[in-house]
Amino acid sequence: MTWPSATFPGSPLRRPPHEAVSSYEVLVILLSLLPCRRSWTKELSGRQFGRLTVTRSALPSSTSGAHRWYTNCECGKADHVVSARNLLMGISQSCGCLRMEKMQAASTKHGYAHDGCVSPEWHAWATMIQRCYNRNNPAWSRYGGRGISVCDQWKDSFPSFIRDMGDRPGPGYSIDRIDNNGNYERDNCRWATSTQQNRNRRSNRMIEYDGRSLSLAEWAESYHIPYSTLSARLKRGWTVSVALSVPIRPMARPRSQ
As for how many domains the chain has, the answer is 4
Q: Are the C-beta atoms of 15 and 2 separated by less than 8 Å?
A: no
Rounded to an integer, the average pLDDT of 192-211 is 75
Q: Residue 10: is its pLDDT beyond 80? A: no
- Do 192 and 142 share a structural domain? yes
* 234 in any annotated domain: yes
Q: Residue 195: is its pLDDT beyond 90? A: no
Which tens digit of pLDDT belongs to each residue from 24-38?
A: 666 655 555 555 555
Distance CA 250, CA 3 (A): 86
- Do 22 and 60 share a structural domain? no
Q: Residue 211: is its pLDDT beyond 50? A: yes
Q: Residue 6: is its pLDDT beyond 50? A: no
Q: Residue 64: is its pLDDT beyond 70? A: no
Distance CA 143, CA 11 (A): 44
Comparing 145-149, 183-187, 197-201, which segment has the lowest mean pLDDT? 197-201
- Do 139 and 111 share a structural domain? yes
* 250 in any annotated domain: no
Which of 181, 223, 176, 171 lies closest to 199, judged by CA?
176
* 257 in any annotated domain: no
- Do 79 and 105 share a structural domain? no
Q: Which domain holds residue 13?
A: 3-33
Q: Residue 8: is its pLDDT beyond 60? A: no
How high is the pLDDT of residue 27? 61
* 106 in any annotated domain: yes
pLDDT band per the 50, 70, 90 thresholds, residue 242: very high
- Do 90 and 102 share a structural domain? no
* 10 in any annotated domain: yes
Whole-model pTM over 0.75: no
Which of 109, 110, 107, 132 lies closest to 118, judged by CA?
107
* 252 in any annotated domain: no
Which tens digit of pLDDT belongs to each residue from 119-141?
A: 888 889 989 998 998 888 888 89
* 246 in any annotated domain: no
How high is the pLDDT of residue 100? 67
* 63 in any annotated domain: yes
pLDDT band per the 50, 70, 90 thresholds, residue 76: confident
Which tens digit of pLDDT belongs to each residue from 86-96?
A: 888 888 888 87
- Do 232 and 166 share a structural domain? no
Query: Which of 95, 117, 133 is at the close of a domain?
Result: 95
Which tens digit of pLDDT belongs to each residue from 103-122?
A: 666 555 555 555 556 788 88
| Of 203 and 211, more confident | 211
Q: Could you tell me the CA-to-CA distances from 134 to 94, 151, 187, 195 in Å, in that order?
A: 12, 16, 24, 27
- Do 189 and 105 share a structural domain? yes
- Do 73 and 9 share a structural domain? no
- Do 77 and 56 share a structural domain? yes
- Do 102 and 88 share a structural domain? no
Q: Residue 42: is its pLDDT beyond 60? A: yes
- Do 73 and 11 share a structural domain? no
Q: Residue 226: is its pLDDT beyond 70? A: yes
| Of 1 and 236, more confident | 236
| Of 24 and 144, more confident | 144
- Do 136 and 46 share a structural domain? no
Q: Residue 7: is its pLDDT beyond 50? A: no
